[in-house]
């Protein structure tokens, strides 16, 4: 097996973080080779764009930064250096102008990820970036040589001047990132935190009737809360629980309760546009022989799914259903017990990853000088809404700038 010596940068992982680093490095005249285990690049990026590519968010800087929780201090300089505004200008420069949705989320006007990715790869190719696909990273050998298994089962060896690891987290592993790099880095003395599902659906022990009858039904215009955290949005009833943006936004709070107590308490406001007093007023008066479901549908315009969720969660013989104030209280804060989060195979993102203590300020591995890391490999967490992609782009740009300094010195 021959070892290839390369005076440029090897980037392992062809997602947003890796490709952004490749763009910055190649624009500065550095030779770049991008390795990826899949037969095509940006697979999770394309998946993120299936329902509309949410690139970033227009939150004010303080509110934006707060979305990253405990990792905010480490991410702050990266988010300032390559900000949401910079990301929008970058997309526009690729011929993909953006717009701001009603919730403050930012999307390309084309909505899809594929036009942006095509234009991006065309730019990278024009800048001389090489792509080696179907290359599974095996780690370093005793001499510090990077090793890859190719599609034929053979092994390639390369010694670059610099290396960037952008191997992703562990969510949606069928798209390429499965977190298997953790064992490789552990052997090299690099610490990481275990992965856990984030921005994931929740498990609820529905009755057989409810699961069979209402799985696939949406809950629209509702609000959710867990502890002191709340969100508003839609959710989908599944046979095992609930999924959707309103649920994903509470992943951190739900996971904290699950870790502490083994269960979590979710409260659902089925009519967030009405105050408790307004709900009581609308429910006041005789039912005139109407069934419970007809009464709620006519007085509050609750959907069949919402009405049956109320019955499922509160119990069909709950005496509160005959008391207007108690019924209004349940409609405004329906308790639903969460037994767990859905697994990493269905999660949008993952919490955990490469420990911040294992990295210097430029995202270089302290145990492996010349090797950097970026993107979802790092131990940070954020809700959906553009925060995930923004941190991937920003950390990739940050690592690239640090690599440029290293190469120049």
Q: Give residue-wise pLDDT tens across range 293-341.
A: 999 999 999 999 999 999 999 998 999 999 999 999 999 999 999 999 9
Predicted confidence at residue 288, as pLDDT, reads 79
Mean pLDDT of 352-358: 96
Instruction: Say what the pLDDT of residue 7 is.
Output: 92
Question: Which pLDDT value is given to residue 233?
Answer: 87
pLDDT band at 252 (very low <50, low <70, confident <90, very high): confident
Residues 216-234: tens digit of each pLDDT? 999 999 999 999 999 998 9
The secondary structure of the chain in percent helix, strand, coil, rounded to multiples of 5, reads: 40, 25, 35
Cα–Cα distance for residue pair 395/71, rounded to 1 Å = 12
Dihedral sign from CA coordinates of 335, 337, 340, 345: negative
Q: Are the C-beta atoms of 230 and 378 separated by less than 8 Å?
A: no
What is the three-class DSSP state of 48? helix
Residue 265 pLDDT class (50, 70, 90 cuts): very high
Judged against a pLDDT cut of 90, whether residue 285 lies above it is answered with: no
Alpha-carbon 31 to chain mean position: 31
Average pLDDT over residues 277-282: 95
Q: Tell me if 201 sits within 8 A of 341, measured CB to CB.
A: yes
Task: Say how far apart CA 19 and CA 197 lie, in whole Å.
Answer: 25
pLDDT at 103: 86
Q: Per-residue pLDDT averaged across 170-187, rounded?
A: 90
Determine the Cα–Cα distance for residues 309 and 219; give it in Å rounded to an integer. Answer: 9
Residue-level pLDDT at 2? 84
Sheet (strand 241-243) strand order: 334-338, 264-269, 218-226, 229-237, 241-243, 202-203, 340-341
Look up the CATH architecture of domain 3-197+351-408: 3-Layer(bba) Sandwich (3.50)
- What would the pLDDT profile of 369-402 be if each residue is shown by its tens digit? 999 999 999 999 998 899 999 999 999 999 999 9
**CA–centroid distance for 261 within its chain:** 24
Q: Are 375 and 279 in contact (CB under 8 A)?
A: no
Helices (H) and strands (E) counted in the chain, each on its own, are 15, 19
The residues near 293 (Cβ < 8 Å, ≥ 6 apart) are: 304, 307, 308
Domain spans, the chain: 3-197+351-408, 202-341
Res 147 pLDDT > 90: yes
What's the chain's Rg over C-alpha atoms? 24
Q: What is the mean pLDDT of residues 289-293?
A: 89
Cβ burial of 70 (10 Å; 0-12, 13-18, 19+) is exposed
Mean per-residue pLDDT for 89-114?
95
Q: Yes or no: say if 247 and 253 are a contact pair by the CB < 8 Å rule.
A: no
Query: What whole-number distance in Å separates Cα of residue 173 and Cα of residue 197?
Result: 12
DSSP 322: G
Structure tokens at 336: 């639903």
The kind and range of the H/E element at 120 are helix 114-126
pLDDT digits 0-9 by tens, 43-96: 999 988 787 899 999 999 999 999 999 999 999 999 999 999 999 999 999 999
pTM: 0.90
């Amino acid at each position: 097996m021959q070892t290839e010596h390369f005076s440029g940068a090897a980037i392992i992982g062809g997602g947003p973080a890796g490709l952004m680093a490749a763009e910055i490095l190649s624009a500065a005249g550095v030779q770049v080779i991008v390795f990826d285990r899949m037969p095509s690049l940006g697979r999770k990026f394309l998946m993120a764009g299936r329902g509309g590519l949410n690139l970033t968010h227009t939150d004010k800087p303080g509110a934006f930064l707060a979305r990253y929780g405990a990792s905010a201090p480490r991410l702050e300089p990266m988010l300032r250096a390559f900000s949401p505004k910079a990301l929008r200008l970058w997309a526009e420069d690729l011929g993909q102008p953006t717009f701001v949705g009603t919730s403050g989320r930012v999307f390309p006007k084309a909505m899809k990820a594929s036009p942006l990715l095509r234009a991006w790869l065309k730019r990278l190719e024009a800048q001389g970036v090489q792509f080696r696909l179907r290359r599974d990273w095996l780690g370093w050998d005793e001499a510090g040589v990077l090793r890859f298994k190719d599609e034929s089962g053979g092994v390639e060896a390369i010694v670059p001047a610099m290396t960037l690891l952008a191997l992703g987290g562990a969510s949606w592993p069928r798209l390429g990132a499965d977190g298997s790099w953790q064992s490789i880095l552990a052997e090299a003395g690099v610490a990481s935190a275990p992965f856990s599902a984030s921005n994931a659906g929740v498990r609820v022990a529905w009755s057989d009737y409810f699961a069979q009858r209402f799985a696939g039904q949406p809950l629209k215009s509702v609000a959710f809360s867990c502890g002191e955290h709340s969100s508003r949005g839609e959710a989908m009833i599944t046979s095992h629980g609930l999924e959707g943006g309103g649920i994903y936004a509470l992943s951190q709070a739900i996971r904290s309760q699950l870790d502490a107590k083994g269960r979590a308490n979710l409260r659902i406001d089925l009519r967030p546009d009405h105050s408790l007093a307004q709900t009581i007023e609308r429910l006041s008066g005789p039912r005139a022989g109407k069934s419970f479901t007809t009464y709620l549908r006519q007085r509050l315009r609750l959907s069949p799914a919402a009405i049956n969720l109320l019955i499922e969660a509160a119990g069909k013989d709950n005496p509160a259903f005959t008391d207007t104030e108690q019924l209004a209280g349940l409609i405004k804060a329906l308790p639903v017990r969460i037994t767990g989060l859905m697994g990493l195979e269905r999660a949008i993102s993952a919490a955990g990853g490469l420990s911040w203590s294992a990295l210097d300020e430029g995202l270089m591995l302290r145990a492996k000088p010349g090797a950097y890391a970026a993107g979802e490999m790092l131990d940070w967490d954020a809700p959906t809404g553009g925060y995930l992609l923004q941190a991937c782009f920003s950390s990739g740009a940050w690592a690239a700038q640090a690599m440029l300094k290293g190469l120049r010195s």
